[in-house]
Amino acid sequence: MLIDWFTVGAQALNFLILVWLMKRFLYQPILHAIDAREQRIARELADADSKRAEASQERDQLQQKNQNFEQQRAALLNQATLAAQAERQRLLDEARQAADAWSAQRQQSLANEVRNLHRTITGRAQAEVLAIARQALMDLASTSLEERMGEVFTRRLRALDGGRTGSPRPSRLRRNPRSCAAPMNCRPTSARPSSTPSTRPSPPKSASGSKRPRSWSAAWN
């Protein structure tokens, strides 16, 4: 007989005991370990996903901040450019005004110089003319001329005295007294040398006794 029923029973019992032991010592611990590992991996993956999402969000925020910063920078740069242009324009205007002022001042000083120069030249020319006239008069002087001149001079002095006392001044002198700066020109048209003086009258002397004709012009003026 190949079947021993006691052995069959014993083996069945052994097998059931083995089932319990293996469940106790093999399947449950192994399955628990696998489950724990899978949960851990799932948790780590979830953490990684959350971190990835967080990183993505932070990256978006940084990009947004970057864009805002760029915009602000561009606005500030534009504003600074405009301010610099305005400042440049203002400085240019100031410089132009200063240059105009300097130019006007310079022109004024040049005009003053010209005026002074004219005055100087006029004075010199008057002096030269007077000297030439004096020289010419000295060279051309004769008795009749000197007499005639003395006569005219005397008459005009009288006329001057008459003007002070109420008598009218000769109209020609009244109209243009400067035209008589030269003694030759101050001769009235009607006055002509009547005769050639034989003797040369002495010119009227000034208070200082000088023979310079400067006092004449001073008196005529």
Partner 1 sequence: MRLSPDAIVLWQSGFFKLNATILFTWALMLVLVVGAKLVTRKLSTDLTRSRWQNLLEIVVTALEQQIGEVGLRQPRHYLAFLGTLFLFVAAASLGTVLPGYEPPTGSLSTTVALALCVLVAVPWYGIADQGVRRYLASYLEPTFLMLPFNVISEISRTLALAVRLFGNMMSGAMILGILLTITPFIFPVVMTALGLLTGMVQAYIFFILATVYLAAATRTRAPDSAPSPSP
| φ, ψ (nearest 5 deg) of residue 4 | -105, 110
> Applying CB under 8 A, does 75 fall inside the site for partner 1?
no
> What CA–CA distance (Å, rounded) separates 58 from 29?
42
* Window contacting partner 1 (CB under 8 A); options: 30-38, 59-67, 97-105, 134-142: 30-38
* Window contacting partner 1 (CB under 8 A); options: 17-25, 50-58, 67-75, 205-213: 17-25
> Applying CB under 8 A, does 205 fall inside the site for partner 1?
no
> Applying CB under 8 A, does 36 fall inside the site for partner 1?
yes
* Window contacting partner 1 (CB under 8 A); options: 8-16, 66-74, 100-108, 170-178: 8-16
> What CA–CA distance (Å, rounded) separates 211 from 202?
10
> What CA–CA distance (Å, rounded) separates 1 from 175?
185
Task: For residue 205, give the 3-state DSSP assignment.
Answer: coil
Tell me which DSSP letter residue 211 carries.
Answer: -
Among 9, 123, 168, 204, binds partner 1 (CB under 8 A): 9
> Applying CB under 8 A, does 46 fall inside the site for partner 1?
no
* Window contacting partner 1 (CB under 8 A); options: 10-18, 52-60, 139-147, 178-186: 10-18
> Applying CB under 8 A, does 55 fall inside the site for partner 1?
no
Look at the block and give the residue holding tokens 């005529």. Answer: 220
> Applying CB under 8 A, does 42 fall inside the site for partner 1?
no
- With respect to partner 1, which residue has the nearer C-beta, 37 or 65? 37
Neighbour count for residue 147 (Cβ, 10 Å): 19
Contact 197, 143 (CB under 8 A): yes
Q: Least distance to partner 1 from the beta carbon of 47, Å?
A: 15
> What CA–CA distance (Å, rounded) separates 48 from 14?
49
The footprint of partner 1 on residues 93-122 (CB under 8 A) is: none
**Token couple for 140:** 């051309």
Among 15, 61, 77, 80, binds partner 1 (CB under 8 A): 15
Tell me which DSSP letter residue 178 carries.
Answer: G
Among 4, 49, 113, 128, binds partner 1 (CB under 8 A): 4
Neighbour count for residue 172 (Cβ, 10 Å): 13
> Applying CB under 8 A, does 43 fall inside the site for partner 1?
no
Give me the DSSP letters along 45-62: HHHHHHHHHHHHHHHHHH
Q: Least distance to partner 1 from the beta carbon of 46, Å?
A: 16
> In the complex, which residues of this chain contact partner 1 (CB under 8 A)?
2-12, 14-23, 25-27, 29-34, 36-37, 40-41
